[in-house]
Structure 1
Amino acid sequence: MISTKHTGPSWLILASVGIAAALVLTGCSGGGTAAAPDAAPAAGDIDKAAAAALPEKYTKAGVIKVASDIPFPPMEMFDENQKLTGFDYDLAQALGGKLGVRMEFMTQAFDSIIPSLQSGKHDVIMSGMNDTAERQQTIDFVDYLHAGFSILVPAGNPEKITTVLDLCGRDVAVQKATVQAEILHGYDDECTATGAGPMKIAELPLETDVQTAVRSGKAIADVVDSAVAAYAAQTAGDGEMFEVVRDPSNPAGYDPVYTGIGVLKKDSELSRALLLALEAVIADGSYEEILAKYSMTDYAVDAAGINLGS
């Protein structure tokens, strides 16, 4: 979904109460309801340039409605008190502070998240969404991460997976509507050449579903954004449930892509304001702090930009 949610985009809850609780929480991922009340930004946080660039409709409303596929740890998730948290959420609050408005997260299934934006239910998307050429035909991206995908396997790596080609001919799971399936199909010719044949890819509704498939043996691996894979390996089952396959030839993950805030092309002024806010968050060190909080420093962008994935 690094779509890579992308390529992006899964476990604070799991660390404390186990995967069953996370699966219960997926029931909160409905279509366009507010996930949690978001605090109003402090006046001292406002960046004058970013706030001035924000279209008047958002300034008057005092809120930007954010579509997000919740949960998708560590990008968006609930903590042990069922309060919304995660990298996207924290970054959004920092951006809202610079703009002088609330960033109100609303749950939306990922496979319908762009149509919901087009319908006017939401103003932007923040859901680990990868910036791809295909998606750029419909929306613009204010890019804030750069990372590849990783292979998540059960702890101990019982199938001895070492590279992506070890998945050839095997059952692999990915989240539906992410770009992982497309990327993996890009290995079809190489897999055929090995004699094992293409990967057998199951696309499941939620990342929690994908990880459950791996735990139950229905799939030998979950192919997911590197940040999501790393977080699951560190926290699920107290760090004893999964591990990430380390491919020395691809230390940052396979096929790195940008992840960004999705904005309708007609709302270019909003994109510009968000870009200025992101630049301000990077400049004051907040961006680096949020990355470090979720162990995502390796996925920082060198500089903020719009449609860097083109």
Structure 2
Amino acid sequence: MTKGSRLLTAALAVLISASALTACGTSGTSSSAGEASTSAPAVVKKKASAAALTTPTIETSGQLTICTALSTGNPPTYFTDSENKPVGAEVEMAEWIAKDLGLDAKFVDVAFASIVPAVQAGKCDVIMSSLYIKPERAKVVDFTPYLMSGSAVAAPKGNPKKITGMDDSLCGLKVSAAVGKTATLLAQEQAKQCEADGKAKLTVVQTDQTTAAVQQLVSGQVDAYAGETPVVLYYQKKQANSFEMVGKPFGEIEVGAAVKKGNDELSAALSKSFTAMNKDGAYSQILKRWSMTSLAYKF
């Protein structure tokens, strides 16, 4: 072999080795980024799918943006942990859905009272925040149902005031509730009924946070708490010695993922993904983990 041939052979070997190293490096970086961005809880056993949705179906390609009233908090469906990380049943479902669609999940904290306008304004792609499917809401956003809920009343353990539910047994008492929730509106209606019937005044004490409203009951500042059924069931188990549901849950209603009116492609994708979650078994696992099995939606 001549000196020129040896030099050419060596140069080709260097080029081939460099190409192989570059390819391996790119593959490794992509895989690591994908694993880091999903941040799905251990309970969610789901491999990421190839992204099928892009703008304008979603606001940002590669990302599913979810509006959730995290600051309000609504254990066990959504709230933040000690490290300010979103947790809860709906959070896990949202992360599973995003991964199933081949997207990264990004949560946007929005006040519950402003959450529908937020999705209409394009601040997020979908609302997953225990949003009840009501006719007036269905006129302005499109829903994909995925959970059942309702309202309930709780009292201190032993029910010293003999409260029987959302009725005149609350007249003359103080009830805590979170701003904007259906149970709060029902408590306000009951307060009007107490007054109309000439009975003692029912005082509804509203707070910006569900957890604060519950704490008012636990600390003895109020006589009862009115809130969503999942919240009452969660705290009845978590604080069994100081908190109990009184009467039966009422106002059963569907909870849905809401998107902009007319965004049929995203609605169809969400519906298909929720059905897949149910068939996969992840849906029942998530509900069981958060003591919400009784509130499963029948897909």
Deviation at 1:201, TM superposition (A): 2.3
**Alignment of 1:294 onto 2:293:** no
- Equivalent residue for 1:112? 114
Q: 1:96 aligns with which of 84, 98, 107?
A: 98
- Equivalent residue for 2:182? 179
1:71-150 equivalences under 5 Å are: 71-150=73-152
**Alignment of 1:257 onto 2:253:** yes
* Secondary structure of the structure 2 residue equivalent to 1:64: strand
User: Which amino acid letter does the alignment assign opposite residue 125 of structure 2?
Assistant: D
User: Which amino acid letter does the alignment assign opposite residue 76 of structure 1?
Assistant: Y
Q: Give me the identity figure in percent.
A: 30
Tell me which moved more, 288-297 or 154-163.
154-163
Deviation at 1:73, TM superposition (A): 1.0
1:171-195 residue CA offsets vs partner (Å, 9 max, x unmatched): 2222111222333355468646865
- Equivalent residue for 1:244? 245
Unaligned 5+ segments in structure 2 are 1-35
Cα distance in 2 for residues equivalent to 1:38 and 1:191? 50
**Alignment of 1:67 onto 2:55:** no
Deviation at 1:158, TM superposition (A): 2.5
User: Which amino acid letter does the alignment assign opposite residue 299 of structure 1?
Assistant: L
* Secondary structure of the structure 2 residue equivalent to 1:173: strand
Cα distance in 1 for residues equivalent to 2:188 and 2:136? 16
Cα distance in 2 for residues equivalent to 1:148 and 1:42? 29
4+ long deviations beyond 4 Å: 40-43, 185-195
Report the TM-score when normalising by structure 1. 0.73
1:261-283 residue CA offsets vs partner (Å, 9 max, x unmatched): 12111323211111111111111
Tell me which moved more, 287-296 or 113-122.
113-122
Cα distance in 1 for residues equivalent to 2:79 and 2:60? 29
- Pairs aligned (count): 257
Task: Tell me how large the CA RMSD over aligned residues is.
Answer: 2.8
- Equivalent residue for 1:32? none
Distance 1:37 1:240, change over 3 A: farther
Unaligned 5+ segments in structure 1 are 1-35, 304-310
- Equivalent residue for 1:266? 262
1:25-71 residue CA offsets vs partner (Å, 9 max, x unmatched): xxxxxxxxxxx96438998453x8xx65x455449721111111113
Contact 1:185–1:198 (CA<8 Å) still a contact in 2?
A: no
Cα distance in 1 for residues equivalent to 2:85 and 2:192? 45
Report the TM-score when normalising by structure 2. 0.76
Deviation at 1:147, TM superposition (A): 2.3
Cα distance in 1 for residues equivalent to 2:201 and 2:97? 42
Cα distance in 1 for residues equivalent to 2:175 and 2:55? 47
Contact 2:173–2:223 (CA<8 Å) still a contact in 1?
A: yes
Deviation at 1:219, TM superposition (A): 2.5
